[in-house]
Amino acid sequence: MAKTKSAYFCQSCGYESAKWLGKCPSCNSWNTFVEEVIEKPGASVPAWQSSGSTKRSNKPNKITNIAFSEENKLSTNDLELDRVLGGGLVAGSVVLIGGEPGIGKSTLMLQLALNITGKKVLYVSGEESEQQIKMRAERITSNPTADCYILTETSTQNIFKQIEVLEPDIIVVDSIQTLHSAHIDSTPGSVSQVRECTAELLRFAKETDTPVFLIGHITKDGAIAGPKILEHMVDTVLQFEGDRHHVYRILRSIKNRFGAAAELGIYAMHSGGLRQVSNPSEILLSQRDEELSGIAIAATLEGARPMLIETQALVSTAAYGTPQRSATGFDTRRMNMLLAVLEKRCGFRLSTRDVFLNIAGGIKVEDPAIDLAILAAIISSHEDIFISSKICFAAEVGLSGEIRAVNRIEQRIAEADKLGFERIFVSNYNLKGLITDKYKLEITGVNKIEDVFSLLFG
């Protein structure tokens, strides 16, 4: 009789150890190791397929002899989701979606299951009853499709039995942390269970070319719960972000084997479910009746999509002698670097001033092309002089105060031109080879931040 084997796993990162440890060597977390059984006596290799089927072993094949055909991606009837997935759903792909509780992950996946046409979708839920899912389906759509099937089950063995009978084209699992396999003797949501259940679904997806969506929980730090290997196993990792107090939600691609890993999808949460936002620039720019200081517009890119966002800055006297530095939606360390450039290169004394920065709309931006807009907003607030709402910026700022060129400047200018802006500040190096006659707005090239401030405030 085989002996039961066990090991200790870190519940934060999935690190495996033969003995209990007080501190995890991988993530430095304390008291996170839990003993789990990794092999039950007499456990067999899980097989979802029929007992009579056989699988031929693979052999090495020369790369020049491999026939390649372009993947036909399946449209999900959701333009935002298709964009983030890289153009559509690939056969046999496994997609992992993570996000805060109540952010809308289950609503998004149920809308996918109800709206996709011509495909049989199996929605597996381990968290809600059939009546709860039916109530949400009635709320988000008035005409649910007849090809959407609901299964409330947590055992992977029972799920695969129903899959063999139904033979669905797409599978949605809500959530992977609620599933458990009989081949692992541990509780659902543990490291070994999450890894084993994902491995079984991954084998099923690859051998049958059936796309699988997995909804995953996240930790208090914002990372997807379970072992880090979970993100390596799947083909695509999507992060559903947003503040529950705002209506807008952002679907961000973190990893994608079939497309760009920097795409962005924007939704608006309403009582009737999630609605696609086709033009995010209009919602990210506030409608102002009068000109206000401390506001500058930046032309940024998220994946292949150009957007114009509003950067807001507030500079005030430090009340207690120690200045505060706070940034929402932008890296605080980069903001401190830009403030140091202003002090060193332009002579603005901000060491005794509180500086608060906010990216309007609740989104997070990492594009360095918004550097110039942030500096312009800070100086606008510091001097209490407004910048015209018809001016935008698209340039990176270096440590010596030089204005650096950014990529894909034509898309940024075209988006600003489409929204009716009259002037855009870019680096002089971006003007080389740029055809400016086809744009209505004025394109101003600058070399140093002193040139920008003299043109704006001089």
Structure tokens at 174: 């809500």
- Rounded CA separation 97/218 (Å): 10
101 annotated as a binding-site residue: yes
Structure tokens at 220: 């208090």
Residue 282's CB is within 10 A of a number of other CB atoms, namely 12
Residue 342's CB is within 10 A of a number of other CB atoms, namely 21
220 annotated as a binding-site residue: no
- Rounded CA separation 445/448 (Å): 10
106 annotated as a binding-site residue: yes
SS3 content of the chain, % helix, strand, coil (to 5): 30, 30, 45
> In the chain, count of helices (H) and strands (E)?
11, 21
102 annotated as a binding-site residue: yes
Task: Please state at what angle helix 332-341 crosses helix 371-383, rounded to 10 degrees.
Answer: 60
104 annotated as a binding-site residue: yes
| Start-to-end C-alpha separation, the chain | 86
- Rounded CA separation 33/24 (Å): 8
HSE, side-chain direction, 13 A CA sphere, residue 375: 35
361 annotated as a binding-site residue: no
By the 10 Å C-beta count (0-12 exposed, 13-18 middle, 19+ buried), 210 is classed as buried
By the 10 Å C-beta count (0-12 exposed, 13-18 middle, 19+ buried), 290 is classed as exposed
46 annotated as a binding-site residue: no
By the 10 Å C-beta count (0-12 exposed, 13-18 middle, 19+ buried), 458 is classed as exposed
**Which residues belong to the annotated binding site?**
99-106
**Which residues belong to the annotated binding site for ATP?**
99-106
